[in-house]
A and B are shown apart, each in its own frame.
Chain A
């Protein structure tokens, strides 16, 4: 068990044209075995929050801890998956997956073995030698996921990992993600701006709002567990309870927008 915590964390970016309060007073735990999903429009600080957890960004207020110890920088206990794959296009799929192992000096044969097993786990059996440029967006995201899993992180941090995918690929990836999560029990922090995706994947869902970026609502959906217990994805997403929550979320977001429009 491990927990990644943001405690009344804030981030203010300072640039030549003034300061932007990207995040303010955010308190959030990501524990092993949980899928914490941040939902919100662009600019509400989701990536900044992920950057805090990943150690790319230092908090200007509050604290970010991993099992009580301050996070001081990025590390392989918190592997990141990006929307725009961020792969190394000069390496084959297999070498991309093995990249983190190569960094820590794992031998070639062992790297290869791990990479091939992981490529199989993400549904890319037989694509080990393929060039990244020959792969579709969905396949690249799978490679990115396998690369993150290869370093055996305690947490997976995912910034809109499915944002660039078409509807069908996206749903397939959602299911893959839940299966991998079930098999590994890792703590997952995932960003999306799809309400449906957030509801389906999250064990804890936080709704964020901009200027300054903060958490405005928290939900505890159980659709991910129902899916893993065997309920079909279409049945879940068509379930009146799911639809009601989706509408409620959409209404909350809309109300927030109107509030914002009225008071600036």
Chain B
């Protein structure tokens, strides 16, 4: 996006203002009842109130923190497992042949479809949610890592070997850094998948978390909390996305420039 979007920020801003105005218009005019869609003012007020008093037994920070902790933990697990597995798949066709079918088999299955099975195995505690998200992140991250490794310029490897690199040095000083842009892109996409899966999972089985908050508010027909919660979920997703884009630029900024 970077180059094409820069200088066109006003277009984004215009859309946002338009949507906000539309939202304000239909609610302030009474066209839509507050039960179905509360106005921006009401939602803002509710957000402030949530921040101060929390909702259903936990503060807003605790809800958001619970969700973020789950996704963060899952991300750590996925990174320490999927990246080495993906590297091995990319480096050795035999490992790829062994693991690729398994990953390709479960990858297209929506995580919520196997959530019930994980609940049966691990109960409705924290473990279940972290395992679910780890699984959702694992497949795309392992696949991105493996394809990044396979795409490494063979001449770059030959150059390193002719300079005296050992096998390990080739893997860690040439192949891994070469694949890093693909790995980070995979991580960013996987994290987006993980976050949406998590929130959906919290709708089913949780006593804390943003998904849970939205779900209970919906059952109590507190629509302003539902809307505030959805906005918060979106904003956090956006912040995570931007954070990982920054990481990509910082650690793999050299790619894309050539």
Contact = CB atoms under 8 A, between A and B. Distances in A.
B254 A131 contact: yes
Contact of A86 (B156, B169, B255, B257): B156
Interface in A115-137: 131-133
B2 interface: no
Interface string B177-206: 110100000000000000000000000000
7 contacts: A76-B164, A79-B163, A80-B159, A82-B159, A147-B163, A148-B163, A151-B163
Given A82-B155, A82-B159, A90-B177, A104 B164 contact: yes
Interface in B214-258: 252, 254-255, 257-258
A88 B174 contact: yes
B153 interface: yes
B158 A74 contact: yes
A90 B162 contact: no
Contact of A99 (B153, B155, B160, B178): B160
A2 B254 CA distance: 39
A76 B158 contact: no
Contacts of A29: none
Nearest to B156: A86
A84 interface: yes
B53 interface: no
Contacts of B180: 90
Contacts of A56: 158, 161-162
Question: Interface residue tally of chain B, by bracket?
Answer: 20 to 34
A103 B164 CA distance: 7
Most A CB within 10 A of own CB, among B159, B165, B180, B258: B159
Return the 7 tightest CB-CB contacts between A and B, nearest first.
Answer: A100-B163, A133-B257, A76-B164, A86-B155, A86-B159, A74-B161, A74-B162
A64 B155 CA distance: 21
Contacts of A90: 177, 180, 252, 254
B258 A75 contact: no
A89 interface: yes
A84 B158 CA distance: 12
Interface of B: 153, 155-156, 158-166, 169, 173-174, 177-178, 180, 252, 254-255, 257-258
Contacts of B254: 89-90, 131-133
Given A87-B159, A88-B174, A103-B160, 16 more contacts: A54-B158, A56-B158, A75-B162, A76-B162, A76-B163, A79-B162, A80-B162, A86-B155, A86-B158, A88-B156, A88-B177, A99-B160, A100-B163, A102-B173, A103-B173, A131-B254
B163 A84 contact: no
Interface of A: 54-56, 73-76, 78-80, 82, 84, 86-90, 99-100, 102-104, 131-133, 144, 147-148, 151, 157
Nearest to A157: B162
Contacts of B163: 76, 79, 99-100, 103, 147-148, 151
A151 B155 contact: no
Given A90-B252, A132-B254, A75 B158 contact: no
B253 to A, nearest CB: 9
A247 to B, nearest CB: 34
Q: Which of B155, B162, B180 has the most CB of A within 10 A?
A: B162
B258 A133 contact: yes
A151 B163 CA distance: 7
Nearest to B258: A133
A100 B166 CA distance: 11
A97 to B, nearest CB: 11
A70 B169 CA distance: 24
Nearest to B181: A90
Contact of B155 (A78, A84, A132): A84
A86 B178 CA distance: 11
B165 A103 contact: yes
A177 to B, nearest CB: 18
Given A88-B174, A89-B254, A89-B255, A151 B164 contact: yes
Contacts of A74: 158, 161-162
B86 to A, nearest CB: 19
A144 B160 CA distance: 11
Contacts of B161: 56, 73-74
A132 to B, nearest CB: 7
A78 B158 CA distance: 12
Contacts of A75: 162, 164
Contacts of B158: 54, 56, 74, 80, 82, 86
Contacts of B165: 103
Nearest to A84: B155
A148 B180 CA distance: 25
